[in-house]
Structure 1
Amino acid sequence: MKTITDETHDSERRSFVSTANDPLGDFPIQNLPFGIFSRGNDAKNSAGVAIGDQIFDLHAASRLGLLSGDVPEEVFAEPCLNALFALGRERLKQLRKKIGDALEVGTNGEKIRRSAADLLVPMAQCVMHRPTSVPNYTDFYAGIHHAKAAGALLTPENPLPTNYKWVPIAYHGRASSVQVSGGSVRRPTGQRAPTVDGGLPGFGPCERLDFELEMGFYVSGGNRLGDPITVSQSEEHIIGYSLLNDWSARDVQRWEMYPLGPFLSKSFATSVSPWVVTADALAPFRAPAMKRPEGDPRPLKYLLDEYDQERGGLDIGLKVFLSTRTMRAADAPATEILRSNASHLYWTPAQMVAHHTVNGCNLLSGDLIGTGTISGPAEAELSSMLELTRAGARPITLPNGERRGFLLDGDEIRFEGRCTREGYVSIGFGACVGRIEGATEKSL
């Protein structure tokens, strides 16, 4: 399935929801990302679509017959998007078109306007929930600039693994600790490397808590066990994208990761933004795969597809903001500390899916796959504190004079993502936010 532009991307389209027509907003009618919301803490979860500063209630719309088609009404009442995603890319594409037609200025919008109290809910009055139940979570290591910069700090003798340019490296993460944006992240406790040769390991709260700027993408219907997905087939299995923060305990990671990789240093929390921007909404912002430097090997045949090389990348501008407890007490705005772009990924999402399944591994609807940290080649594009501060040796200074090598309790990290291209309406991802809380006394 090739992702191409159509009438849903028309820059002239407007919604009768006025805030959706704000050129600085994330959710114009050309976007229409899916999420799970409730109308308060105690209300039932259901599926919705973001439009301006409102949520279009899909379950309510289906009950009123506004989404007539082959999507069963009960799918919209599910507390997660797994069943909806299991219907596949093509059916979700058609649903997105119907929703856009219903929300567009014109006669289609009249019925919705008359039923606005039932169908459109202000986001500010809603609680957002994790988009899928996340049966499985896999995190790749596809940002080569991150791999080089972090590798030079963690393993200076071998900063870039020998296999890096041949194989999309990944590990299986902990699905149960994936949480939606806005929650707190408790500082983890664990072992740290001995400070002297032959000494005892340290133990206590993480002293080098970090974020990692990533994109996450969700699987649609999945594949049968033993039946690999090729690169050319992978697009139909990628339903949409979110922002993802792969929180990391660097001191714990340094001590535990050999020979099997990260464990406690990653499994304590992963944050995702609440809205899933569909692969079809991103059609205008596809880009060529990252151009490999001269001398880099040509990917093996199972990882190489001409269309994917031409259109398998994504042009998504990414930003990270930091707010401290002191800044918030003074009503000071969060500070932008870096920006990057998803185009810096060495491996495309389709290549990640192909490699993930080449051994016959079966993906499931709602599975979450992280791209790995998306750093760029410039200093201002290093997308973790580890890289940005040279493992704390070169702290950043905030406008109020505070300095940070790694994250302290009370610090809040906010990710934002936005797609912009001439001739098309800009779309965004919302935000992915997490605030650090102190370690629990139970673990001390």
Structure 2
Amino acid sequence: MTKFARVLLGATALTLAVSPALAEKLTIATVNNGDMIRMQKLTDAFTAKNPDIELEWVTLEENVLRQRVTTDIATKGGQYDIMTIGTYEAPIWAKQGWLVELDDMGADYDVDDLLPAIRGGLTVEGKLYAAPFYGESSMVMYRKDLMEKAGLEMPDAPTWDFIKQAAAAMTDKNAEVYGICLRGKAGWGENMAFLSAMANSYGAKWFDMDWKPQFDGEAWKATLTDYLDLMTNYGPPGASNNGFNENLSLFQTGKCGMWIDATVAASFVTNPKDSTVADKVGFALAPDKGLGKRGNWLWAWNLAIPAGSQKTEAAKKFVAWATSKEYLDLVAEKEGWANVPPGTRTSLYENPKYQEAAPFAKMTLESINAADPQHPTVDDVPYVGVQFVAIPEFQGIGTAVGQAFSAALAGSVSAENALANAQAITERTMKKAGYIK
């Protein structure tokens, strides 16, 4: 080897050794949902344009993610430069001064293109504090072939009574086909997301106007009783362990006649790469009980930057890229229009290519627009939020109540005991927090 070659090789090695150190590393905490996993695979497009930024991912199951990021931001731990947070956390944390305002996302970001229902939940005093990666409501996903075999036709706007009738007709336990799959895993964002939305349609509520818990009322009793009847008689075994991802897998492998869950699941159940029933799926609005409210929620998974971050500018670059129109176009190019993250931008729902590729687009948008966080249930309530209550204490209360209801689904306690436990847990917390005496 010549002296020149040795010098050149040495300089190259030095460059390779120094470059990673010079790059600004962003640690991103995110949830293990399909859209987030897909984003990680596509981030070469971002780092190619931003070679001075390195990305490190911490991918967690939903309940674990919430626990970790809440602890980190409340204690100013500084583990993460970007956090994946929900519509629940965004306004509460913004009011605490825990989030960086996203006021300069670039001229081409087009913040006014964000769907008003989704943007509104992330805005405090007119300022955006989290950028939506995908937005969702909930709806019924069902097997058209099994519905036809049962001699039934799914209405666009079904009732809970019809859902029970259809679940019974489609169940064939010998063939491991269950009429309905619903969330049973304990967690304020797991089983309680579904049950709170269902309860709204039954006229139930978490609190009355004086902040007194309402689990001892007839509406919650009817909600939980019907839920347990559906799942015990027509649901899969071990349902108390099933959350979003577990039910998605059951539906994709042909084991569920109906699944009531997040609208974001639609692209996964209709994708022939992943779903054995992709060509057999139909969609309907979340059910109602005839009281003027449907059992659909409103949610977005969002990217936010914790206040006090030393890497704010780099973090904003990534957040802007991952929630941009450019990113939607990238996913469409790589995965097809049906698989772009839904529920965030008006322009997506006006795009003929998306409308053609996504048979669920209209139902998704209708479900998102129908959810009303300001008036979530039949009666007036003192709180904002459809499937959650937007107060800091809700994470703890919701998870504890979720554990009580999951235990009832597992058969460990009766419905009556679960409701009594929920009432006692919630009363105790609300008294301690000073809401009630």
TM-score by length of 2: 0.24
**Greater percentage in helix:** 2
Which protein has the bigger strand share?
Answer: 1
Report which of the two structures shows the higher radius of gyration computed on alpha carbons: 2
